[in-house]
Amino acid sequence: MYKNSGNSIPLLGSEINEESKLFKFIFNFENFIYLGLDFDAKDKQVKIAEKLLSNQIQPWLINISKENKDLGSLTKKEVKALKDNAIFIADMDELLKYRINK
């Protein structure tokens, strides 16, 4: 988990099951979500984003650099800066572009 002034939920194992309470909550109450996984989990971040998009949930992808490694090691100010620079993914075409350019 990272130091955030808003709501945040850690993923255990960097996966989210569509049958989980967390996914159902997101599906029922949110139409977008910020998604930030560790630098070495970029492929998993894209897979989760794909799952969210297929359920009409638009993700903002937070880019974690190799130097930062994970959100848990950052200050609130650093996390806010990353969140402010997150990339909005409106559809599968944008996700494909993100995947190619990452």
Q: Is pLDDT larger for residue 96 or for residue 28?
A: 96
- State residue 4's pLDDT score: 44
For 2-45, the DSSP string reads ---SS-----SSS---TTSHHHHHHHHH-SEEEE---GGGHHHH
The SS3 call for residue 101 is: helix
pLDDT tens-digit profile of 37-52? 888 888 899 999 998 8
- State residue 15's pLDDT score: 72
Specify the range with the lowest mean pLDDT, choosing from 14-23, 48-57, 62-71, 85-94: 14-23
CB atoms within 10 A of CB 37: 20
Cβ atoms of residues 2 and 64 within 8 Å? no
Place of tokens 């996966």: 15
